[in-house]
């Protein structure tokens, strides 16, 4: 057996065969942010494992990321820059040299910027969560250019805004303390699929006698393993939360001392909650009254009680209000007093990231470009210039995202990107659906090939990622591509010379011990175990704000309420089924769909449908169906399944369009409407009809 040692530098090929191990961080958009150990054999990454020394990772990875080497060396990895050689969207490209590509791109951008730089739009999300390969050099580039700003709403902005308005930030319980809770509500989250390391803590609590309740319209693998599953209708969580409050009040399961000292707006909330007896909520949620009554009793009488809220429940019109209602619950029962009580939706607000130093908004130098919402990219690409909108979008630079597959109402997104007069550059690992409609595709490095530094939204450790191997093919880091473009644009500000290790150091400044990151790969933020045991919420009032003056000042309801979906069940006879499209376990959004071993596990795009809904439409399990509404249609295989509740179909996502049966995916039918707070998308607020597809159709 070869001996392995940790290396602090990339192994260059040496004369003697050698095996080294390199510490890194999982870059994916997942709350777990795992610490990785990559085994490198003569410059080749042969294995990616979970780091046993990092307590949150505990030596284990999910199936997807344990295939990270397979993904990085995938035969379809982009190895050279490509230039379009056929009509837009034809998928015909030819290889070109880096200099030719960068010169041409810079020239095109200069010409547009001379008219109005706001006609250029960056489009990015969390393909990597790295603070350096994410918005560091890219932010500097677009700020210096004066391009349109992008509101990055596609995932978490409704819930994020709701937390800010209630708790004062994206803050909450420390995840490790869930292991000691006696009641855990897993609310709007399929932990086994999308937050596996949290699930390990929940199981530990379960073994120690905790009761686990899953609140989710879909009977997920997580719901299967909880004591109770509350299969409410999509978008009815606020009604459930208000009914729980009703019962807490009716039975006086309240912590009056905590409410008095550490909350704001109790009288108003009390009055609001009293309008929600369990019978009313049961009607709205489509669940038995008894389930609500029992849940309220458990929540009111079990200590410590913890809520693992997740983003699945805020992808509906009232997503922000729902998160606000749920985030109020722990204060009512004083759950925050115990480290194992409270709520966790996101921990990202605990991290002292110096975003201004990384992204340098000061390079705008007084200019105030318009902001476009990434969730309405379909409409925005099709909009003409106007005094309210500003200039027509003439160029889009996409990195760390695959909008053609993941953005709502893809019919319009595709139409927008296929505009002959739009100049599109895509930085990618693969020929995604978005890369297919580009003018230039630039090959980017993966996490095994670059430096980065990471915060997390599911735990409170900072992680450093070292490159383990040399870039594959001619791939370049995102940072390097933006540096090279900056040079060609004539941006000579010294900040464009910062290298990636400097950017890693800049992210946290002296707030984190960088030497420790270099030595062991991760560092825990020094935070109290029960951050809100004595109030101290990071709100203006220092209290948990049941009533939000800021929301009221904007003309919104200052108290949380139930807002019915835009497309709620029963509101259309033409489209009677509510469709949700949660992630498939073996994909990460649209990443990994092209990794054969993972795609083989998922098989093909499936629509889970309840037996009654299938029978009344003459649909048999395994049959191809059309899923449609006025926005569009996609095709997939029906899976008559107990995982679907009556009236709700589950279209598991997010497949690459070109790998689906009709070259489309679930987002053909989702809408571009926005949530009550944060301007987020409403992927799970979507009515459809489903019909069997016969062979000759």
- By the criterion CB under 6 A, which residues form the site for ligand MGD? 29-30, 125-128, 133, 154-155, 187-190, 193-195, 215-218, 220, 234-235, 237, 310-313, 316, 399-402, 406, 427-430, 432, 444, 478, 580-583, 585, 587-591, 653-654, 666-667, 670, 683-684
Residue 402 contact, options Mo ion, ligand MGD, none, Cβ 5-8 Å cut-off depending on partner type: ligand MGD
Give the CA dihedral 143, 148, 153, 158, nearest 10 degrees.
Answer: 100
- Smallest gap from residue 312 Cβ to ligand MGD (A): 2
Nearer to ligand MGD, 57 or 539 (CB): 57
Burial class of residue 582, CB neighbours in 10 A (0-12, 13-18, 19+): buried
Nearer to ligand MGD, 546 or 587 (CB): 587
| Interface with Mo ion, residue 171, by CB under 5 A | no
What distance in Å separates the CA atoms of residue 53 and residue 399, rounded to the nearest whole number? 32
Residue 190 contact, options Mo ion, ligand MGD, none, Cβ 5-8 Å cut-off depending on partner type: ligand MGD
- Smallest gap from residue 643 Cβ to ligand MGD (A): 9
Bridge-partner residues for 307, per DSSP?
A: 185, 343
Residue 135 contact, options Mo ion, ligand MGD, none, Cβ 5-8 Å cut-off depending on partner type: none
Nearer to ligand MGD, 259 or 669 (CB): 669
Q: Which residue is nearest to Mo ion (CB)?
A: 155
What distance in Å separates the CA atoms of residue 216 and residue 237, rounded to the nearest whole number? 9
- Smallest gap from residue 586 Cβ to ligand MGD (A): 7
Residue 193 contact, options Mo ion, ligand MGD, none, Cβ 5-8 Å cut-off depending on partner type: ligand MGD
- Smallest gap from residue 577 Cβ to ligand MGD (A): 14
Bridge-partner residues for 424, per DSSP?
A: 396
Among 65, 82, 155, 215, binds Mo ion (CB under 5 A): 155
Residue 148 contact, options Mo ion, ligand MGD, none, Cβ 5-8 Å cut-off depending on partner type: none
Residue 120 contact, options ligand MGD, Mo ion, none, Cβ 5-8 Å cut-off depending on partner type: none
Task: Classify strands 461-465 and 522-524 as parallel, antiparallel or unpaired.
Answer: antiparallel
Nearer to ligand MGD, 189 or 539 (CB): 189
Nearer to ligand MGD, 447 or 506 (CB): 447
- Smallest gap from residue 588 Cβ to Mo ion (A): 9
Nearer to Mo ion, 158 or 393 (CB): 158
- Smallest gap from residue 679 Cβ to ligand MGD (A): 14
CB-CB contact of 682 with 580 (8 Å):
no
Residue 35 contact, options ligand MGD, Mo ion, none, Cβ 5-8 Å cut-off depending on partner type: none
Nearer to ligand MGD, 285 or 530 (CB): 285
Which among 397, 384, 326 has a CA at the least distance from the CA of 135?
397
3-state secondary structure 519-547: HHCEEECCCCCCCCCCCCCCCCCCCEECC
Mention every residue, 6+ apart, whose C-beta is less than 8 A from residue 281. 236, 239, 240, 242, 243, 246, 292
Nearer to ligand MGD, 342 or 408 (CB): 408
Instruction: Read off the tokens for 199.
Output: 């699930």
**How far is CA 123 from its chain centroid?**
15
Mention every residue, 6+ apart, whose C-beta is less than 8 A from residue 620. 614, 638, 640, 692
- Smallest gap from residue 193 Cβ to Mo ion (A): 13
Give the CA dihedral 411, 415, 418, 421, nearest 10 degrees.
Answer: -160
What distance in Å separates the CA atoms of residue 580 and residue 670, rounded to the nearest whole number? 9
Q: Report the side by side order of strands in the sheet with 461-465.
A: 452-454, 461-465, 522-524
* Site of interaction with Mo ion (CB under 5 A): 155
């Amino acid at each position: 057996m070869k001996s392995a040692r940790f290396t602090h530098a990339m192994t260059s090929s040496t004369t003697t065969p050698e095996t080294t191990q390199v510490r890194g961080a999982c870059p994916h958009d997942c709350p777990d942010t795992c610490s990785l150990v990559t085994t490198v054999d003569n410059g080749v990454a042969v294995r990616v494992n979970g780091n046993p020394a990092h307590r949150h990772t505990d030596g284990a990875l999910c199936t997807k990321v344990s295939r990270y080497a397979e993904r990085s060396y995938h035969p379809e990895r982009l190895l050279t820059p490509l230039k379009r050689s056929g009509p837009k969207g034809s998928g015909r490209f030819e290889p070109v040299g880096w200099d030719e590509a960068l010169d041409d791109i810079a020239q095109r951008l200069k010409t547009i910027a001379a008219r109005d730089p706001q006609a250029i739009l960056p489009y990015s999300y969390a393909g990597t969560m790295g603070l350096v390969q994410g918005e560091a050099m890219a932010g500097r580039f677009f700020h210096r250019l004066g391009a349109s700003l992008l509101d990055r709403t596609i995932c978490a902005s409704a819930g994020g805004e709701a937390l800010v308005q209630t708790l004062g930030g994206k803050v909450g319980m420390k995840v490790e303390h869930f292991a000691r809770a006696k009641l855990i509500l897993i609310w709007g989250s399929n932990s086994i699929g999308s937050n596996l390391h949290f699930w390990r803590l929940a199981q530990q609590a379960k073994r120690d006698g905790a009761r686990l309740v899953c609140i989710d319209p879909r009977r997920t693998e997580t719901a299967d393993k909880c004591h109770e599953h509350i299969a409410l209708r999509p978008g009815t969580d606020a009604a459930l939360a208000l009914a729980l409050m009703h019962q807490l009040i009716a039975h006086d399961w309240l912590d009056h001392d905590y409410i008095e000292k550490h909350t704001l707006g109790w009288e108003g909330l009390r009055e609001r909650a009293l309008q929600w007896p369990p019978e009313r909520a049961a009607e709205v949620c489509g669940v038995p009254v008894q389930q609500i009554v029992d849940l309220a009793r458990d929540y009111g009488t079990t200590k410590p009680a913890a809520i693992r809220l997740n983003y699945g429940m805020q992808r509906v019109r009232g997503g922000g209000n729902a998160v606000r209602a749920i985030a109020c619950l722990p204060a009512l029962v004083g759950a925050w007093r115990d480290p194992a009580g409270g709520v966790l939706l996101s921990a990202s607000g605990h991290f002292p990231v110096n975003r201004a130093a990384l992204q340098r908004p000061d390079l705008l130098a007084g200019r105030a470009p318009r902001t476009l919402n990434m969730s309405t990219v379909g409409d925005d690409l099709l909009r003409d210039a106007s005094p309210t909108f500003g200039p027509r979008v003439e160029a889009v630079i996409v990195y760390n995202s695959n909008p053609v597959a993941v953005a709502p109402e893809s019919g319009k997104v595709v139409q927008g990107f296929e505009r002959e007069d739009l100049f599109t550059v895509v930085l990618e690992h693969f020929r995604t659906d978005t890369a297919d409609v580009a003018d230039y595709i630039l090959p980017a490095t993966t996490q095994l090939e670059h430096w980065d530094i990471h915060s997390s939204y599911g735990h409170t450790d900072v992680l450093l990622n070292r490159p383990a191997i040399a870039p594959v093919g001619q791939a370049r880091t995102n940072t390097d591509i933006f540096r090279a473009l900056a040079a060609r644009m004539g941006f000579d500000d010294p900040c464009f010379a910062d290298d990636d290790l400097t950017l890693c150091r800049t992210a946290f400044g002296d707030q984190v011990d960088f030497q420790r990151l270099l030595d062991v790969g991760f560092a825990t933020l020094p935070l109290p175990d029960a951050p809100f045991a004595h109030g101290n919420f990071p709100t203006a009032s220092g209290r948990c704000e049941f009533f939000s003056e800021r929301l009221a000042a904007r003309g919104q309801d200052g108290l949380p309420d139930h807002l019915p979906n835009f497309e709620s069940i029963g509101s259309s006879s033409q489209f009677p089924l509510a469709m949700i499209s949660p992630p498939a376990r073996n994909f990460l959004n649209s990443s990994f769909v092209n990794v054969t071993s993972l795609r083989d596990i998922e098989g093909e795009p499936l629509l889970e449908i309840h037996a009654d809904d299938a029978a009344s439409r003459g649909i048999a399990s395994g049959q191809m169906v059309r899923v449609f509404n006025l926005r569009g249609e996609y095709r997939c295989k029906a899976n008559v399944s107990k995982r679907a509740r009556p009236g709700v179909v589950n279209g598991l996502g997010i497949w690459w369009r070109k790998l689906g049966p009709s070259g489309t995916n679930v987002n053909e039918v989702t809408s571009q409407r926005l949530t009550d707070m944060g301007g987020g998308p409403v992927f799970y607020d979507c009515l459809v009809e489903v019909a069997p597809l016969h062979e000759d159709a």
